[in-house]
Amino acid sequence: MRGQATAGRVTNLCMKLAAAALLCLWSAAASAQGLAPNTTYDAAIPTLKAVLGHGHGEAITTPDEVGRYLDALAKAAPDRTRLVQYATSWEGRPLHYLVVGSRERIARLDEIKRGLQVLASGATDADRLIADLPVVVWLLHGVHGNEISSSDAALAEAYHLLAARGSADVDLTLREALVIIDPMQNPDGRQRFVTQNLLGRALEPDPNPQSAEHDEPWPGGRVNHYLFDMNRDYFALSQRETQGRARVMLEWYPQVIVDLHEMGGNSSYYFAPPADPINPLLTEAQRKSLDLFGRANAAEFDKRGFAYFVREVYDAFYPGYGDSWPAFHGAVAMTYEQASARGLAFTRDDGTVLSYKDGVTHHFTSATTTALTAARNRERLLRDFLEYRRSAIALGQKGMREYLIPPGKDASRAERLARLLAAQGIQVRRAEEAFQSGSQQMPAGTFIIPLAQPAGRLARNLLDPDIKMDDAFLKEQDRRRKARLSDQIYDVTAWSLPLMFDVDVVAGDRPAGVKTREVRPDEPASATPAPLPQGTLGFLLPWGSGAAATVTEALRQGIRVQTADETFTHSGRKFAIGTAFVRLAENAEGTAVKLQQIAQRHGAELLPISQTWTEEGISLGSGRTARLKAPRVLMAWDSPASSLSAGWARYTLEQRFGQRVTAMRTSTLQNYDMKDYDVLVLPSGTYNYSEDGLRRLKDWIRNGGTLITLAEASRWAARDRVGLISTDTLWRDGTPEKDAPEGGTQGGGSGGGGAKPDSAKPFDFDKSIQPDRERPENLAGAMLRVTLYPYHWLTAGLDGDIQAIAEGSRVFAPLKLDAGINVGVYAPADRLVAAGLVWKEAQPLLGERAFLMHQPTGRGHVIAFAEDPNYRAYAEATQLLFINAVLLGPGH
Ligand SMILES: [Zn+2]
């Protein structure tokens, strides 16, 4: 593997660069001193230098080397460690955690784990457990692969805890705490960073921040293979790495979690307490502990003379961070941020040079101080944790008692949501019979999420439609936006899973007395295919998420599939637009069983039929059905495409729906003859096609190609840019952007010389300083209601309203009737906002503007999304719209 070929090179480089190996030796000695002054180390524990050839902070340790050093430590101290591989990255690299504890603790590790699980259940008689259990401190490193010092600090932390001799602090830490070190949460991203850094490396480390070794090419090392920011993936659990991490955290239930990051090189160091806003479901005890750790770190940083800041930037509102998701399981969870050298040396704006070793030392210091502080407060932290879990149960016994999710029209989507909740430690049950909840009749198969459970606050966070920010914070943001200052909102302001999945949720105030069984995240889909009724001549698949995945796989296997462009009634049941039909007579032998297996795997409903007569609507042999083909899909890759948008699209295609896609660099793409492809996806971005390239793109569409543009790519495609689709993007005042910004006549805000002075009226200062033309107000990330045009095949599997995540400042005028169809339109202003923060003044501009447009062009299509339907792979509903475009577009 390419990664491994470079593995040993950093070491070699360090030696060669040193001209005489002296320089490396010198810094190894310095680093041992620098980390923890006056510490004596046990020679039986191998140093980093002995195993890898470089000391702490002298080289950027590669992912492969991280693994080798962990192995060496675990082998040297088998009775005080346990090394566990908990996941494998998309690119095949192992993810580990190393448990470090006293001999006594490690000998009883499994018993301790069981004890922690009992504690986490909110056990009533827990005194013995609390007297006995260690406090678990989980140190997470390098979730962003280019935040490099974090992983090297992890290796230093492990070495220090295992090798320090006669240190009262280390002895106390290991007596009272169990320290779990995850040194590298994103090995693929780290390898990407290390490779490009090495490629750009000068004769000796170049501190110029603009030099090639610091300047990462697209997509950068922050993200994983699918270009996901894994620090936003906790409740979506879309990535293998996060899935593994959530699973093992739910085995150990740590009481203290630190996620160690890096920030811009001109900063200093950040640790808790966090900035506002604070999620209202964090408790007072948690906030007090954030303060406790903050003060302990501050005292140590003062002692060492390190600069730091608290409270100013990193908030604790959004629940999908590595430092917030575990907090709703009861941990004290914190983010620490070190200024990044983004290499071995970095010249700051003030002329001083930040070294990689500085970063490693600072992270090492805060991490070991945190573990020590936790050890000193062992009993308090365990009691707080227990109380958090118990009070969550108590909270759920008042007011609303449970959430109910009926299977609804697309049972595959409800089931996916139920499993996702179960995968994050939330108890979910499935009703085995129909039941009554209040005045509502709930069918068998309804999922029940009781709120009286230890993870009740996490359940509320993810299932409530909206989590409110506090008024003082909102007031300050309102002031800032009016002054045209950027807001202090760090991430999206809405994330309700039922809204994003577009499933119905019923709030129940009485626990349902109904026969149920527990939902397990990994429970296999139902067993063997049901025997087919006599005379089965084909199958109907009502469209939905599971059906889309089924049909994608079926088409790839050569099964012939039709899709209904209108509704029909068969055997008394009404079938919606998009329903797929497979006729066995036109398929190979064995298709029935094959299709049954595929459908089961994807949780799709597959109905055998023995005659094709429809009582109402179109016939199954009608011209108003479309023959689907396995689409050959191309997508733009590399700058100027947004790496996140490109990664989300690729993930949605390949992993969510099993659709193959050719990712092609944008520079190659515009000169490429696309005749062998049916679909082109342009992720968010402002493209720079040549005139010739654009002409060829338009010809390809006219000849039957389906172009799908996402977010900023739709802005680029609009009439005022390259004219692939007849929409206009709008200014804040609702006028099209194509109008000259100096227009003057329409804005009415030009307070200067143009207007005739009216001596009778006082000068209107506020009005006079309003800019003439502005982009629409920026959305930090909110959920907007979208009304779908139900007669269009793009909406198959969805009905009426859905919710879409909107962020940024894009507003599109709807298409005129002669240009195309506005398949999705934002709801009118008064019911536009489904959840999250959208300023009142911004709502009228968005109301009834276009979300999803379809413009038939020649024999092809342009399908434009105003926002990214695959945003972080959060929203099943909009992802279904996206796969509909890919799968159904070429058939029409
Ligand atoms: Zn980070």
User: Tens digits of per-residue pLDDT, 595-654?
Assistant: 999 999 999 999 999 999 999 999 999 999 999 999 999 999 999 999 999 999 999 999
CA of 465 to the centre of ligand 1 (A): 28
CA of 143 to the centre of ligand 1 (A): 7
Mean pLDDT of 180-193: 98
Which residues, listed in sequence order, are joined to residue 785 by a DSSP beta bridge?
A: 803
CA of 474 to the centre of ligand 1 (A): 25
Task: Quickly state the pLDDT bin for 756 (edges 50, 70, 90).
Answer: low
Mean pLDDT of 225-246: 98
Task: Map 29-52 to HEC letters.
Answer: HHHHHHHCCCCEECCCCCCHHHHH
CA of 187 to the centre of ligand 1 (A): 14
Farthest-apart Cα atoms in the chain, separation: 91
User: Alpha-carbon distance 698 to 692, whole Å?
Assistant: 10
CA of 636 to the centre of ligand 1 (A): 26
CA of 302 to the centre of ligand 1 (A): 24
**Beta strands 779-788; 833-835: pairing state:** antiparallel
What are the Cα distances from residue 852, in Å, to 400, 443, 889? 36, 33, 14
Angle at the Cα of 136 from the Cα atoms of 274 and 393, rounded to 5 degrees: 75
The closest of 215, 218, 235, 228 to 186, measured between CA atoms, is 228
CA of 144 to the centre of ligand 1 (A): 5
Pick the residue with more confidence: 369 or 526? 369
Mean pLDDT of 398-411: 93
**Beta strands 516-518; 429-431: pairing state:** antiparallel
The string of pLDDT tens digits covering residues 197-207 is 999 998 999 99
Taking a C-beta distance cutoff of 8 angstroms, is the pair 55, 14 a contact?
no
> Using CA atoms in the order 361, 366, 371, 372, what is the torsion angle rounded to 10 degrees?
90
Q: Where are the beta strands (DSSP E) in 10-134?
A: 40-41, 81-88, 94-100
CA of 490 to the centre of ligand 1 (A): 13
Q: Is the pTM of this model over 0.75?
A: yes
Q: Where are the beta strands (DSSP E) in 273-372?
A: 275-278, 315-316, 332-339, 345-347, 353-355
CA of 228 to the centre of ligand 1 (A): 12
Number of H helices, E strands in the chain: 28, 38
CA of 271 to the centre of ligand 1 (A): 13
CA of 404 to the centre of ligand 1 (A): 36
CA of 223 to the centre of ligand 1 (A): 10
The string of pLDDT tens digits covering residues 701-727 is 999 999 999 999 999 999 989 999 999
Task: Quickly state the pLDDT bin for 522 (edges 50, 70, 90).
Answer: confident
Query: How much is the pLDDT for 740?
Result: 54
Report residue 823 as tokens: 């398949």
**Residues around ligand 1, an ion, CB closer than 5 A:** 144, 147, 261
CA of 263 to the centre of ligand 1 (A): 7
Query: How much is the pLDDT for 526?
Result: 67
Cα within 13 Å of Cα(573), Cβ side: 11
What is the amino acid identity at position 420?
Answer: L
CA of 316 to the centre of ligand 1 (A): 15
